[in-house]
Each structure stands twice: as C-alpha cells, then as structure tokens.
Structure 1
C-alpha cells in the first residue's frame, strides 16, 4: 500500500524517511494545538475538573483543527494514536484519569496534556527524558 508521496508510481513502496519526518512534524503540530487547548481550559478554571470527557473534547478539537488537517497528510493524522479501548485497554472512561501512565503507545492527547499538567518532559519516543 502506498502511504507517502513518491515518484508517482502507484505501486511504489512507502518512503520510510518521509513517513518518519511527517509523523514527527504532525506529532509536534498536534502537541502545540493540544497544549493551547489545555491552557484555554485551565484558564477557564476547568483544570480541576479534567475528566475523560474533557480530555476527549480536547482530542476531538485538536484532530478537527482545520489548520492541523491542512498541514498534515491524512495517512499521518490517522497514524496518531487516539483515545479508545485499543490504546487504553481496561481504562474506565467514566472514572478519574490516571496520569501516571507512561507507555509510549498511549494516545497522543493523553501524553500532551499529561506533559503539560504534570510537567513531565518526554523524549520523542514517549519515554521520560532524564
């Protein structure tokens, strides 16, 4: 399956360098948007009530941002992990958010908001930086 711009041949292979670079750019772009949205909710006094529904709202707003969608290839946007049973198995989405999770496969919005709220800086692979 062709997942990246290439030499124009429909059966060409995925360009792994392009894909890695595009994924990194989209991740940074998403982090910036999610952080701005989180700051907006904190400024409105909703940080104490940060719940799964609010985190899902931040995720939806960030993924729906028209500028974000125009800057990033749909395949790359689709590759970013979202909140759901597949990425967060066993989580009660009506309960409290456990910010102690650090798995690099966690949804991108969880990692962004966690970093902003907890002040944990992570490396590009999702591991805590030392």
Structure 2
C-alpha cells in the first residue's frame, strides 16, 4: 500500500479530558494537510491520553525558590561549579542545595532527581 503524498494525514484524538481534546482538535483542524478522523475511522496517527501510568503524581514537595533554581540548572545538566557560577553562590552552597534536592525528591543521583521532579510535576521538561 503506497501512501499518496497529497492525501491528508488523518489524526484520531482519544483523550479523556474533554477540554484538552477540544483545544487540541481546534488547533489541529486549522493545519493544512491534516484531517481529523471521524469516530471509528482508521487514522494515520492517533493521539491517546497516557492514562494512570503517565499521570503526574501529586507533588507534596516544598522547594525553596533557590532549590527550584538549582533544579532547573540540574535539568540542563549543569555541574555544581556551573550552578555556583550562574547563581552567584559558592560551590559548597551549590552542593548543599543539590544534596537537599536529592533528599526531598528521594533520588539516588542528579538525573534521578530531575526524573522524579518531572514525574511529580515539580519541573516541566
């Protein structure tokens, strides 16, 4: 089966959140070369909500503004030295904030801290 280059891409939107689904279909409906699938129609692409396993956990985590700054820099891959330089603090203070983040996020390392924070909605990647 050969795809026709002039045929529109047919997209099915299967999202439980009605408001989000309406916003998404409204945005997609205005794009040339895209057509939204009718109910039951085969689609080229499907946008499906991730369900409970992809849901954001409640945060329950209180981060100071400085810890939020450090977390954002950790997400960019910054070293303690780079964090210290960018925030105008000592390397010792940067290490202290990173350690505090690891403890609060129950993380085993810097990457794990960013992953935990993203899952809990503390940071958006």
* TM-score interval for Structure 1 and Structure 2 normalised by the shorter chain: under 0.3
Determine which structure has the larger strand proportion and give its number: 2
Larger relative contact order (CA 8 Å, sep ≥ 6): 1
Flag the structure with larger Rg.
2
TM-score normalised by length of structure 2:
0.26
TM-score in terms of structure 1 length: 0.25
